[in-house]
Amino acid sequence: SAMLAGCRRALPGALRLALRGRAAEGRRAVSTSWCPVGAAFDAKQHRVSAAGRETGLFGVPELSCPEGFQEAQDKALQESEQLVQKACSTPPGPEIVMIFDQLSDALCRVADLADFVKIAHPDVAFREAAEEACRNISTMVEKLNTDVELCQSLRQLLADEVVMNSLDPETRRVAELFMFDFEISGIHLDEEKRKKAVNLNVRILDLCNEFLIGTQLPIKIDKHILPEHIWHNFTAEGNYLQVAGLHADCPDDLVREAAYKIFLYPNAEQLSCLEELLASRNSLAQLVGYDTFAHRALQGTMAKNPETVAQFLEKLSDQLSERTQKDFEMMTKVKMKLNPQNSKLMPWDHPYYSGVLRAERYNIDPGLYCPFFSLGACMEGLNSLFSQLLGISLYAEQTQRGEVWSEDVRKLAVVHEKEGLLGYIYCDFFQRPDKPHQDCHFTVRGGRLRENGEYQLPVVVLMLSLPHSTKNTPTLLSPGMMENLFHEMGHAMHSMLGRTRYQHVTGTRCPTDFAEVPSILMEYFANDYRVVNQFARHYKTGQPLPKNMVSRLCESKKVCAAADIQLQVFYAALDQIYHGKHPLQKSTTEILKETQEKVYGLPHVPNT
Q: Which residues belong to the active site?
A: 488
Coil, strand or helix: which one is 394? strand
Half-sphere exposure of 110 (CA within 13 A, CB side): 33
C-alpha distances (whole Å) from 497 to each of 169, 390, 392, 423, 442 are 19, 9, 10, 9, 15
The helix, strand and coil proportions of the chain, stated in percent and rounded to the nearest 5, come to 55, 10, 35
d(CA 422, CA 57): 20
With a CB cutoff of 8 Å and minimum separation 6, the contacts of 364 are: 358, 479, 549, 552, 553, 556
Cβ pair 64, 55 in contact under 8 A = yes
d(CA 318, CA 138): 41
With a CB cutoff of 8 Å and minimum separation 6, the contacts of 555 are: 362
The residue type found at 105 is D
Cβ pair 422, 415 in contact under 8 A = yes
Cβ pair 138, 19 in contact under 8 A = yes
φ and ψ at residue 332, rounded to 5 degrees: -60, -40
d(CA 54, CA 606): 55
DSSP secondary structure code for residue 596 in this structure: I
Nearest alpha-carbon partner for 442 in 52, 90, 120: 120
